[in-house]
Structure 1
Amino acid sequence: MTRSADSPLVPRLRPFGTTIFASMSALAARTGAINLGQGFPDTDGPVEVLEAAARAIRAGHNQYPPGRGIAPLREAIAEHQRRWYGLSYDPATQVLVTAGATEALTAAILALCDTGDEVVVLEPTYDSYTAAIALARAVPRPVRLRHPSATEPGYRLAEADLRAAITDRTRLLLINTPHNPTGHVLGPDELDAVARVAVEHDLVVITDEVYEHLLFGGRPYVPLTTLPGMAERTLQISSAGKTFSITGWKIGWVCSTPELVAAVTTAKQFLTYVNGAPFQWAVAEGLALPDERFAGLSRGMEAQHDVLLPGLVAAGMTVHPTEGTYFVTADVAPLGYDDAVDFCWRLPDLCGVVAVPSSVFYADPTGARSLVRFAFCKRPEILAEAAERLAGLRTR
């Protein structure tokens, strides 16, 4: 028996439907347009990592791995956290391997939230966050990053806005930095503000750090958990997909206290249980690559950003600065469009490019309706062609 004449879905999941990424990728495939919508690279990652996966398959690492992940990967993750951030995690009790960061985030929210609990999220908000919150029967409380302006050239998180979102039902803060879709990296003052609020209200913080190695201008990444009072209340979540351009492998992880990791494991074991056995061996080798290889990955992504940017500017868009990730946000209002959804559906016909309307990342898109997210995690020659096509919009 269906739950309604319209859909068998339970009400809390009805708003989600097909993701905007799937819709825009289908549009790109149907029209033959250059897909700058969905954030996946069009090249493979470091050859050492790819070859390690092939070796692992041939070596017979193709059955269920241990529930928390193979020991060499958990050890490699713990060493990665020590090497880059000076953090100390016991790989036996404080590291959990997951099916990408999305599963880690979903398991954490399911494990830690009950019906009616509130989760504070930064807005614009990556769409899987609100879906996971709905699965837990919890409630999202968005805190909008303030948009770039004449006085503030970049996005920023205001402490007053964060404090205004806290209620007696707040259970979690979910902090994404480097931030998708804006490319903003929370600075020292913003991190301090999050830490102050979390400690004062005794909140658990989930940090989505999947773009930790894709910061631009040589800027170092500073995890929130390194701030005073945060180690005991922070769940660090990251993955190999974005760093190594292997998004299809879905190997992520959680690092935190033994108690918090155990809680997430309880939920995670009934989602995928385990995944990607040979890929876990390969990621362990990838995390041990020399520092220069990581720096090269970041420089390469920044160079790709610099290929696309002139096309957006030449088209007449207002381009918001990005400090990392795969993405850049542009305002298409100067082109005469006040609805980015309409603009993005028209874009393949206008110039043969696909992008994603940023308004879908807002609970209330007022003030953001004309914003568009472009992904630059593509080959330079593809980005150059896209830039040329986009530049032609000015003449239309």
Structure 2
Amino acid sequence: MLNSKLPDVGTTIFTIMSQLSAEQKAINLGQGFPEFNPDEKLIALVDKAMKDGYNQYPYMPGVAPLREEIALKMSTLYAAKYDPLTEITVTNGATEAIMATILATVSVGDEVIVLEPCYDSYVPSIRLAGGTPIFVPLTAPKNEGESFSIDWERVESAITEKTKLLILNFPHNPTGITLKENDLNILEGILDKHNILILADEVYEHIVFNNKPFLSLSSRPAISAKTFVISSFGKTFHTTGWKVGYCCAPKALSNEFRKIHQFMVFTVCSPMQYALAEFMKDSSTYINLASFYQEKHELLYNGLLKTKFKPIRSDGTFFLLANYSDISRQSEYDFVTELTKKHKVGLIPVSAFYKDSTSEEANNYLVRFCFAKYDATLNEAINRLIAI
């Protein structure tokens, strides 16, 4: 008889709410994927790569042109020096990179600190590696206009002799907060005192608002020396279905990472890699992404001000949180379910990003909107919400 390795894992909230949205013919602002196609130039480059014969197994860590372009970008934006030959690995999306990092670093009995609310792949990956997730909650907003914040004292107090890894995700999904310089200062101090590694999930690195630079953990040598920095082309180039990401880490860490990577997927779709390498030579393809999404953020934020929702500004990502306590006192899950059925707008409850989605700590009357949609889609959703 089969004993489940993940007995507590069921269908994800993203699948549940997307299916409900489809059944109800609702506007789906829940699941985090862009509504629009990638640039036609990128699509043409994939077609060209296929016709040029790049259809067989590529080099296991990723094709050289793409790793070289990633290295150049990391150097230009963050002054981070990674050897494209030994320190950059192209992965089957960021999710594979996250799993490979955890399997490479975590053994039975090790502890891994995760900040709640957190992306749903972290905890199952930790458990499959035999590790124990240690949950440290972000401080939830108490007053109007506030967002979540990090309590670094709680983070450090959670570190024990069993702690192997700390997972950080900034810009943060689902809250939209980013790190400040002082956060990096504190993190440097923690790493100086404790022998732990960092997994930095930075897939929204190019979506930071108000002309602020993104503070990658790769930008601090004392931090990057102990960090697996993970990102994704899916969020940057509207290609979430292509599942191409990458991991940058020092040689010794990359060596262990690649041991796992080669037996998980071996390698990544060849024509997509060559196309992405050529496309990202033009840095405007990712440098201008923040302004593109900030316009959509402002459209949704200002639209929600006309409703009974109380929106919270995001520092980054293509997500925005809003408080619905003036509309209902239902649990977050019950609220989004009823909203989808009655008003035909699908959202995600923030409580779904906690270990216990039914707990009081997880339910703060907050829902997550995804604004990676056409303006017409956002406007129609706003009109439906105004009618509540």
Q: Shorter chain as normaliser: what TM range?
A: over 0.9
Match in the other structure for 1:319 = 311
Match in the other structure for 2:52 = 59
RMSD: 1.5
Q: Are the counterparts in 1 of residues 176 and 316 from structure 2 also a CA contact under 8 Å?
A: yes
Does 241-250 or 342-351 show the bigger shift?
A: 342-351
Match in the other structure for 2:385 = 390
Instruction: Give the alignment partner of residue 88 of structure 2, picking from 74, 92, 95.
Output: 95
Does 357-366 or 378-387 show the bigger shift?
A: 357-366
Instruction: Give the alignment partner of residue 222 of structure 1, picking from 215, 218, 226.
Output: 215
Aligned partners of 1:168, 1:2: CA distance in 2, in Å?
A: 34
Instruction: Give the alignment partner of residue 113 of structure 1, picking from 106, 116, 122.
Output: 106
User: 1:173-229: per-residue Cα shift (whole Å, max 9, x none)?
Assistant: 111000000010011122222221122102111100100000111110111232252
The two structures have a TM-score, normalised by structure 2, of 0.95
Match in the other structure for 1:257 = 250
Aligned partners of 2:73, 2:155: CA distance in 1, in Å?
A: 31
Q: Are the counterparts in 1 of residues 147 and 175 from structure 2 also a CA contact under 8 Å?
A: no
Match in the other structure for 2:11 = 18
Helix, strand or coil for the counterpart of 2:306? helix
Match in the other structure for 2:362 = 368
Match in the other structure for 1:71 = 64
Helix, strand or coil for the counterpart of 2:228? strand
> Pairwise mapping of residues 164-179 of structure 1 onto structure 2 (< 5 A)?
164-179=157-172
1:310 aligns with 2:302: yes
Report the AA paired with residue 362 of structure 2: A
Instruction: Give the alignment partner of residue 342 of structure 2, picking from 350, 361, 373.
Output: 350
Aligned partners of 1:171, 1:115: CA distance in 2, in Å?
A: 11
State percent identity of aligned pairs. 38
| Deviation of the 1:152 alpha carbon | 8.2
Match in the other structure for 1:294 = 286
Aligned partners of 2:231, 2:343: CA distance in 1, in Å?
A: 35
| Deviation of the 1:120 alpha carbon | 1.0
Report the AA paired with residue 373 of structure 1: R
Cα separation, partners in 2 of 1:143 and 1:150, compared to 1, 3 Å = same
Q: Are the counterparts in 2 of residues 311 and 386 from structure 1 also a CA contact under 8 Å?
A: no
Report the AA paired with residue 45 of structure 1: P
Aligned partners of 1:339, 1:69: CA distance in 2, in Å?
A: 45
Helix, strand or coil for the counterpart of 2:292? helix
Match in the other structure for 2:189 = 196
Helix, strand or coil for the counterpart of 1:298? helix
Report the AA paired with residue 328 of structure 1: L
Cα separation, partners in 2 of 1:70 and 1:162, compared to 1, 3 Å = same
Q: Are the counterparts in 1 of residues 206 and 290 from structure 2 also a CA contact under 8 Å?
A: yes
The two structures have a TM-score, normalised by structure 1, of 0.94
Instruction: Give the alignment partner of residue 377 of structure 1, picking from 368, 372, 375.
Output: 372
Report the AA paired with residue 129 of structure 2: A
1:42 aligns with 2:51: no
Does 169-178 or 187-196 show the bigger shift?
A: 187-196
> Pairwise mapping of residues 126-165 of structure 1 onto structure 2 (< 5 A)?
126-150=119-143, 153-165=146-158
Report the AA paired with residue 143 of structure 1: V
In structure 2, the gaps of 5 or more residues are none
Does 222-231 or 235-244 show the bigger shift?
A: 222-231
Aligned partners of 1:185, 1:25: CA distance in 2, in Å?
A: 27
In structure 1, the gaps of 5 or more residues are 4-8
Helix, strand or coil for the counterpart of 2:266? coil
Report the AA paired with residue 368 of structure 1: A
Helix, strand or coil for the counterpart of 2:94? helix
Match in the other structure for 1:82 = 75
Q: Are the counterparts in 1 of residues 202 and 230 from structure 2 also a CA contact under 8 Å?
A: yes
Give structure 1 regions of 4+ aligned residues with deviation exceeding 3 angstroms.
Answer: 149-152
Q: Are the counterparts in 1 of residues 112 and 126 from structure 2 also a CA contact under 8 Å?
A: yes
Match in the other structure for 1:6 = none
Aligned partners of 1:198, 1:16: CA distance in 2, in Å?
A: 32
User: 1:117-140: per-residue Cα shift (whole Å, max 9, x none)?
Assistant: 111112101000111111111111
Aligned partners of 1:38, 1:180: CA distance in 2, in Å?
A: 12
Q: Are the counterparts in 2 of residues 225 and 231 from structure 1 also a CA contact under 8 Å?
A: yes
> Pairwise mapping of residues 256-295 of structure 1 onto structure 2 (< 5 A)?
256-291=249-284, 293-295=285-287
Total equivalences in the alignment = 385
Cα separation, partners in 2 of 1:152 and 1:299, compared to 1, 3 Å = closer
| Deviation of the 1:366 alpha carbon | 2.1
Helix, strand or coil for the counterpart of 2:124? helix
User: 1:3-45: per-residue Cα shift (whole Å, max 9, x none)?
Assistant: 4xxxxx23xx111111111111111111111111100111112
Does 346-355 or 224-233 show the bigger shift?
A: 224-233
Aligned partners of 2:137, 2:58: CA distance in 1, in Å?
A: 40
Q: Are the counterparts in 2 of residues 120 and 170 from structure 1 also a CA contact under 8 Å?
A: yes
Instruction: Give the alignment partner of residue 240 of structure 2, picking from 234, 243, 247.
Output: 247
Q: Are the counterparts in 1 of residues 328 and 335 from structure 2 also a CA contact under 8 Å?
A: no
